Amino acid sequence: MWDEIAVETPTDELPVPRPEVLAAIDALAARGVLSSLASRSAPTVLDRMDAVPGLRERFLAPQVSWQDKSESLRRIAKDLGIAVEALVLIDDSPYERAEVEALLPGVRTLDPGEVPALLAAFEDREVTPESRERVRRYRTEETRRAEGERFQGTREEFLRWCDMRLTVGPAVAEEVPRALELAARTHRLNSSGLTPDRLRALAAADGHELYTARMSDRFGEYGIIGAALVDRTARGSWSVPLLALSCRVAGRGAAAAFLFWLMERARESGAEDFRVTLRPTDANLEMRILLRQAGLRRTEADDSADGSTAGDDGAVLARTLDSGGGGGGLPKPPAWLHVFTRKDADA
């Protein structure tokens, strides 16, 4: 951030930040890349940053303490609700980079001199509206978390107070890039890890439909937080090669509500059974539990030509959609989450 050492300045004023560093942070933010701080320094440095207009607000979940940077990165990932492996550490100290490489081998580390190449790598990538809004939405999430900590009541009461709304419907053309992004970026709430290229091809194929889910609450818009590809080529059956949701909505019932909406729509269309492709990973345990709670069980299925079944050590989970369904009817979304079909929400 600067050439001097903040805690060694003779006054309370911070050293002047390097303009090229601030420019890089802003350029990455415009492409949906979040910035944080992992600084081995006195915690008071963070307080002093608040006095510099426009500086503190560039960073989400900053960690300023005397702890090892590997521990700071773990805390940043936890606060943001993302995988540690999604982080990149930029540090001018070979020692600090080595410490993180040794303890967090999934984290990429860079010398500041490599930042221009990092920026160049994003130049040709498509930037979705959700990407451009990602920093602001994570800031809104910080507000939600703070309000939740202050709320006097149960977790369910807080969720009801948030007035959360999920709007689901067929994807329109401008939503497809975000669906591809969810397929590539999500891990915790991703059923199959279908690649963006494969998703794009299947979504354009006959008999397939792409659905998206948007979410909002009293704090603001989450944007498009879910995508599902439905294969209706088999008579009497709905097959879902991909169900993916943003980790930002984990623990709020959105994944369950989206899944249950799809199941109900399948039954209304006359389908007799409902199938989801699942490829178990170390990260998607939450999705696996959800599918089981929804009554889906593993079934034997051969790989199909369109790739809609699992293969590659995956599985197809299925359940019938009659009133019994093997489990007393279709499940309902959480009581605190209001679910709308897009045409209803637009009415």
| Chain segment 202-238, per-residue pLDDT in tens | 999 999 999 999 999 999 999 999 999 999 999 999 9
Q: Where are the domains positioned within the chain?
A: 6-121, 162-346
| pLDDT tier, 6 (very low <50, low <70, confident <90, very high otherwise) | low
pLDDT at 345 over 60: no
| Range with the poorest average pLDDT among 51-55, 240-244, 257-261, 273-277 | 51-55
pLDDT at 99 over 80: yes
pLDDT at 325 over 60: no
Residue 235 has phi, psi (to 5 degrees) of -60, 130
In angstroms, the CA 33 to CA 173 distance is: 24
Region 111-132 average pLDDT: 87
Region 44-48 average pLDDT: 85
In angstroms, the CA 214 to CA 210 distance is: 14
pTM summary value:
0.76
In angstroms, the CA 213 to CA 256 distance is: 12
pLDDT digits (tens, 9 = 90+) for 123-170: 877 788 888 888 888 888 888 988 999 999 999 999 999 999 999 999
First-last CA distance in the chain: 50
| Range with the poorest average pLDDT among 35-39, 286-290, 296-300, 317-321 | 296-300
Q: What separation in angstroms does the CA of 63 have from each of 44, 92, 169, 198?
A: 11, 17, 40, 39
| Range with the poorest average pLDDT among 115-119, 175-179, 267-271, 320-324 | 320-324
| Domain 6-121 shares a fold with domain 162-346 | no
pLDDT at 310 over 60: no
Query: CA angle, 177 as apex, 173 and 182 as ends, to 5°?
Result: 130
Query: What pLDDT, on a 0 to 100 scale, did the predictor assign at position 31?
Result: 87
Region 87-97 average pLDDT: 95
**Most confident segment among 27-31, 40-44, 303-307, 336-340:** 336-340
Query: CA angle, 63 as apex, 105 and 6 as ends, to 5°?
Result: 110
Enumerate residues 6+ apart whose C-beta is below 8 A from 220: 137, 140
| Range with the poorest average pLDDT among 29-33, 198-202, 291-295, 342-346 | 342-346
3-state secondary structure of 120: helix
| pLDDT tier, 35 (very low <50, low <70, confident <90, very high otherwise) | very high
| pLDDT tier, 110 (very low <50, low <70, confident <90, very high otherwise) | very high
In angstroms, the CA 147 to CA 130 distance is: 23
Region 283-304 average pLDDT: 83
Nearest CA to 121 out of 24, 18, 196 is that of 24
| pLDDT tier, 302 (very low <50, low <70, confident <90, very high otherwise) | very low
In angstroms, the CA 153 to CA 248 distance is: 22
Provide the percentage of residues in the chain whose pLDDT is more than 70: 90
Query: What pLDDT, on a 0 to 100 scale, did the predictor assign at position 282?
Result: 86
In angstroms, the CA 212 to CA 221 distance is: 15
**Higher-scoring residue by pLDDT: 299, 90:** 90
Burial (Cβ within 10 Å: 0-12, 13-18, ≥19) of residue 113: exposed
In angstroms, the CA 172 to CA 169 distance is: 9
- What's the mean per-residue pLDDT of the chain? 88
| pLDDT tier, 8 (very low <50, low <70, confident <90, very high otherwise) | low
Hey, what CATH class is 6-121 in? Answer: alpha beta
Provide the percentage of residues in the chain whose pLDDT is more than 90: 64
Please state the separation of Cα 190 from the chain's center in Å.
10
Q: What separation in angstroms does the CA of 10 have from each of 7, 15, 102?
A: 8, 10, 35
Residue 97 has phi, psi (to 5 degrees) of -65, -40
CATH of domain 162-346: 3.40.630.30
pLDDT at 303 over 60: no
Query: What pLDDT, on a 0 to 100 scale, did the predictor assign at position 46?
Result: 85
Burial (Cβ within 10 Å: 0-12, 13-18, ≥19) of residue 133: middle
